[in-house]
Amino acid sequence: MSGDRNLRWFDYLEKLIIPVALGVLAWSTDVAANKISSSQHELATAELDAQLIDLFGKYYFGELPGERNFAINVVVQNIKNPALRRTLAEVIKSDERQSDETRSEASSIAEEARRLMVNRYKIQIFYNDKKPEQMSEAYEIKSALVSQGVTSTIEVRQQRDTASSDQIRYFEQNERDVALALQDILNSSYSQRSFVLQPVVTPSPGSISIFLKSES
């Protein structure tokens, strides 16, 4: 039984945690390069999260009563990196062995983690000034984000270039998780438009953009 549990954990680790952990490593490296004064704290936090992930694997697949609840209620709640917390919460939410109450709680944890990820960034909403109705739509999107608990600085601005679709523009190297979180929030709060992810070559540190479709 112990061997089966270990196999399930390693399979889970390979499919879900390693990609996120690599993203955290890239993010931590970027922090160390650009914010030297705080890099030790950030790296220490990443190390603590790694230990908590190990505990999650140990207890979530445990056989004793209460082990799984400990993994959910203690371990996941204490992970500092919101991308990791969201990933684990999504795993729990999709686990059909869990009660409806537990899966609902996991869904709430995932939603909170999404907000935390997005709230670290300034959001710019760009509209086509040749389409007057888009300006009001841009402000509707801003209101929708605020209604979902997004506390970021949100600016509404005229487009500087064209967009062939409704887009969330982000820097692939270290902003994909944030873009996905923002996409989830938009899907649940502003269903009038469907936003696709659009990587950009040049980063805008601390900022992520929403572009309304400018082409007919």
10-25, pLDDT tens digit by residue? Answer: 555 454 554 455 445 5
Closest CA to 28 of 13, 15, 40: 40
Residues 111 and 68 both lie in one domain = yes
| Pair 140, 113 in one domain | no
**Number of domains the chain contains:** 2
Residues 137 and 73 both lie in one domain: no
Task: Tell me which residues of the chain have a pLDDT lower than 70.
Answer: 1-42, 65, 216
Q: Are residues 79 and 20 in the same domain?
A: yes
3 state SS for 83-117: HHHHHHHHHHHCCCCCCHHHHHHHHHHHHHHHHHH
Sequence-distant (6+) residues with CB within 8 A of 199 are 169, 170, 171, 172, 176
Sheet holding 154-158, edge to edge: 154-158, 122-127, 207-211, 167-171, 196-200
pLDDT at 103: 87
Domain identity same for 58 and 141: no
Give the torsion through C-alpha atoms of 179, 57, 42, 113, to 10 deg. Answer: 40
pLDDT at residue 8, as a whole number = 56
Longest pairwise C-alpha distance within the chain: 65
Of 117, 142, 175, at which residue does a domain stop? Answer: 117
The last residue of a domain, from among 89, 117, 145: 117
| One domain for residues 85 and 154 | no
Same domain, 73 and 143: no
Specify whether 110 is located in the same domain as 160.
no
37: phi then psi, degrees, rounded to nearest 5: -65, -25
Domain range enclosing 169: 120-211
- Residue 123 pairs with which residues in a beta bridge? 154, 208
